[in-house]
């Protein structure tokens, strides 16, 4: 039997079909069709299927979920960071765009101009003490217009045994993020790596050069728009396209 016994639950606004549908239609399309084929006709009948992306997650305080022990200290961390930032020129809401709690991980989306200030507070404030930065990982989201390039920093506090992620984004047209090497010298090579692979320019880095690719290499290979190329394989007239041009399920 249905849980609602046939009575509509009108008081819960977000369950109204019109509103849920509107939200979904505003999200960008993640994939089309059923089988990833876009060169040949799709006879499956699912050719016009549109799968939309989830809207970006935003978590509101409290960040601690009593049912999830992994999130136990998230409120503490956020409050401590708020207090630490209040001593400086920017406050929490100016520096942090949004907070996401997902899968027991705390992510602070930092506005890029305040990254160094936030990193310094995270490292130096006695209530935070994130002594260890585990490098930066670049991510390219071509669909995320205006914030295509993301840089994710994983931070670890040994004193308090806490972890959190800082995430900064910048547009492809202006791929600049301030360097935090002066705060965390370990990020020297990590930032060079993110520059090499994504073309993110870390302003203030002591020597931002390529690290993995040859110095005279063109382009930044981990970007999604970087063609894969590959060696043309021919067998009886048929050629094998590079992996990014093959039919796929995604």
Partner 1 sequence: MSTNVTEDYIDASGGDWEEVIAAAQESGAERLVVNMGPQHPSTHGVLRLILTLDGETVTDARVGIGYLHTGIEKNMEFRTWTQGTTFVTRMDYLTPIFNETAYCLAVEKLLGITDEIPDRATVIRVLMMELNRMSSHFVAMATFGMELGATTIMTNGFREREMVLDIFELITGLRMNHGYIRPGGVAQDLPNGAINQIRELLREMPKRIQILRKLLDSNPLYLARTRDVAYLDLAGCMSLGVTGPMLRASGLGWDLRKAKPYCGYENYEFDVPVSDGCDVYARYRVRVAELEQSLRIIEQCLDRLQPGPVMVDDPKIGWPAQLTLGPDGLGNSPDHIAHIMGGSMEALIHHFKIVTEGFRVPEGQTYAAVESAKGELGCHAVSDGGTRPHRVHFRDPSFTHLQAVAAMCEGGSVADVIAAVASIDPVMGGVDR
Choose between 90 and 211: whose C-beta lies nearer to partner 1.
211
Residue of 131, 175, 176, 204 that binds partner 1 (CB under 8 A): 131
Q: What CA–CA distance (Å, rounded) separates 4 from 54?
A: 27
Q: Point out which span in 19-27, 61-69, 108-116, 134-142 binds partner 1 (CB under 8 A).
A: 134-142
Least spacing, CB of residue 158 vs partner 1, in Å: 6
Written as six digits, the tokens of 76 are 């503490």
Written as six digits, the tokens of 78 are 């956020």
Q: What CA–CA distance (Å, rounded) separates 79 from 70?
A: 17
Least spacing, CB of residue 57 vs partner 1, in Å: 8
Residue of 4, 48, 103, 236 that binds partner 1 (CB under 8 A): 103
Choose between 82 and 175: whose C-beta lies nearer to partner 1.
175
Residue of 17, 214, 229, 232 that binds partner 1 (CB under 8 A): 214
Choose between 37 and 90: whose C-beta lies nearer to partner 1.
37
**206-219 per-residue burial string, b: 16 or more CB within 10 A, e: under 16:** eebeebeeeeeeee
Total residues found in the chain within this entry: 250
**Site residues (CB under 8 A) for partner 1, limited to 3-62:** 30-31, 51, 53-54, 57
Inter-axis angle of helices 74-86 and 115-124, to 10 degrees?
110
Backbone angles phi, psi at 155, to 5 degrees: -115, 150
| Strand 149-157 versus strand 162-170 pairing type | antiparallel
Q: Point out which span in 41-49, 71-79, 98-106, 231-239 binds partner 1 (CB under 8 A).
A: 98-106
137 binds partner 1 (CB under 8 A): yes
Backbone angles phi, psi at 177, to 5 degrees: -135, 135
Least spacing, CB of residue 23 vs partner 1, in Å: 16
Residue 85 Cα distances to 95, 113, 154, 157, angstroms:
9, 14, 19, 18
Q: What is the CA radius of gyration of the chain?
A: 23
Interface residues with partner 1 (CB under 8 A)?
A: 30-31, 51, 53-54, 57, 102-105, 107, 131-135, 137-141, 152, 154, 158, 161, 163, 165, 184-190, 193, 197, 210-214, 221-222, 228, 243-244, 248-250
């Amino acid at each position: 039997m249905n849980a609602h016994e046939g009575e509509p639950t009108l008081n819960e606004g977000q369950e109204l079909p019109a509103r849920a549908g509107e939200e979904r239609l505003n999200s960008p399309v993640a994939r089309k069709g059923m089988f990833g084929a876009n060169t040949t006709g799709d006879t499956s009948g699912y050719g016009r299927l549109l799968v939309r992306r989830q809207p970006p997650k935003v978590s509101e305080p409290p960040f601690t979920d009593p049912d999830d022990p992994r999130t136990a200290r998230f409120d503490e961390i956020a409050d401590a960071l708020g207090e630490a930032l209040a001593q400086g020129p920017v406050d929490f809401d100016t520096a942090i765009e949004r907070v996401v709690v997902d899968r027991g991980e705390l992510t602070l989306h930092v506005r890029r101009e305040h990254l160094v200030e936030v990193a310094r507070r995270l490292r130096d404030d006695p209530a935070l003490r994130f002594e260890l930065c585990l490098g930066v990982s670049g991510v390219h989201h071509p669909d995320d217009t205006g914030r295509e390039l993301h840089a994710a920093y994983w931070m670890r506090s040994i004193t308090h045994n806490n972890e959190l992620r800082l995430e900064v984004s910048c547009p492809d047209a202006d791929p600049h993020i301030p360097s935090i090497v002066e705060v965390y010298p370990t990020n020297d090579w990590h930032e060079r790596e993110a520059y090499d692979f994504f073309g993110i320019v870390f302003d203030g880095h002591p020597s931002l050069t390529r690290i993995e690719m040859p110095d005279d290499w063109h382009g930044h290979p981990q970007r999604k728009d970087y063609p894969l190329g590959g060696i043309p394989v021919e067998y009886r007239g048929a050629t094998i396209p590079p992996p990014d041009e093959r039919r796929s399920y995604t």
